[in-house]
Amino acid sequence: MGPFILLIIVLLIILISCIRIVPQAHAYVVERLGAYKETWSVGLHLKAPLIDRVAKNVNLKEQVIDFPPQPVITKDNVTMQIDTVVYFQITDPRLYCYGVENPIMAIENLTATTLRNVIGDLELDETLTSRETINTKMRASLDVATDPWGIKINRVELKNIIPPAAIKDAMEKQMKAERERREAILIAEGEKKSTILIAEGKKESAILDAEAEKQAAILRAEAKKEATVREAEGQAEAILKVQQANANGLKMLKEAGADEKVMQLKSLEAFSKAADGQATKIIVPSDIAGLAGLATSISEVIKEK
């Protein structure tokens, strides 16, 4: 009984050792008698005892490799240090297991050589400003080269570009000079705009002053014209009133029954008043003989009294 129980225990241990559970995002490469048999995906699997073995546990997640800086030479013979980051994923566990010895080292060396080839076709300025182009070219080249290994290159990034110290100092001086130039241009533009604004302000002020003077002259002329018109109207009204008074006086004499001699006398008084003024012209009646006769009659009247 004892050996039978021992045999059962041994069989159970062997059976349990043949059970494998493959976790998520992993794959097991199984060999039988040293030759590739199959690839186990996620789930529960059972292998044949003693003749099957799990050759490799392959991680199917996307992985990242950060390579140390590599010396590269640009087209214009400038040596710089560039370190890269490669994002890759295993798509075929069988090819990954049997395609190349030490795939990570192979990717590193392949990345270094590809980087030198790409940078060798670019000058220093293009290298510093064309990271996206370099990344695209390297990803395409590495993806083609690693496809037989069951590896897919998803992305390649230039992590850092380190130029020589002399080139770095020259670039900093150039950057400083460019900033000083931009500052000088901005100051000059500001002064130019300020001068233009001041000139435009003076111009507008002069225009406004001239317009104000013009309006003032127009108002003064209108005021003077209006005063002249009013003065003329006043003189005309005064003359009209005098003539009206004379006419009223003659009318009253006529209504009082004054004879012809009195009327001639009033006319003579009006003539004397006209001559006594500041008039530049004196109208002399054509009937001067009548006036003389009138004067004689007046003398006679005075003598009778």
**Residue 263 and residue 253 share a domain:** no
**Residue 68 and residue 158 share a domain:** yes
Contacts of 169 by beta carbon, 8 Å cutoff, 6+ apart: none
Tell me which residue range forms the domain holding 215: 165-257
pLDDT digits (tens, 9 = 90+) for 101-142: 889 999 999 999 999 999 988 888 888 888 889 999 999 999
H or E stretch covering 126 = helix 124-129
pLDDT value, residue 179: 86
pLDDT digits (tens, 9 = 90+) for 157-183: 998 888 888 877 777 788 888 888 888
Q: Which of 119, 138, 163 is the last residue of a domain?
A: 163
pLDDT value, residue 299: 46
Whether 90 contacts 151, CB under 8 Å: yes
Q: What percent of the chain has pLDDT over 90?
A: 28
Given a cut of 80, whether residue 287 has pLDDT beyond it is no
**Rounded to an integer, what distance in angstroms lies between the CA atom of residue 267 and that of residue 261?**
10
For residue 4, being part of any structural domain is answered with: no
pLDDT value, residue 109: 92
Least confident of 4-13, 84-93, 139-148: 4-13
The single-letter DSSP state of residue 168 is H
CATH number where 88 lies = 3.30.479.30
pLDDT value, residue 302: 43
**Rounded to an integer, what distance in angstroms lies between the CA atom of residue 142 and that of residue 156?**
9
Least confident of 73-87, 93-107, 234-248, 275-289: 275-289
For residue 193, being part of any structural domain is answered with: yes
pLDDT value, residue 4: 76
| Number of structural domains in the chain | 4
**Residue 243 and residue 198 share a domain:** yes
For residue 141, being part of any structural domain is answered with: yes
Cβ burial, residue 228 (10 Å; 0-12/13-18/19+) = exposed
**Residue 236 and residue 193 share a domain:** yes
**Residue 93 and residue 73 share a domain:** yes
For residue 5, being part of any structural domain is answered with: no
**Residue 216 and residue 183 share a domain:** yes
**Residue 170 and residue 247 share a domain:** yes
Q: What are phi and psi of 2, to 5 degrees?
A: -60, -50
Question: Taking the model in full, what pTM does it have?
Answer: 0.55
Q: List residues bridging with 27 in a β-sheet.
A: 58
**Residue 282 and residue 296 share a domain:** yes
Least confident of 222-231, 240-249, 280-289: 280-289
**Residue 177 and residue 231 share a domain:** yes
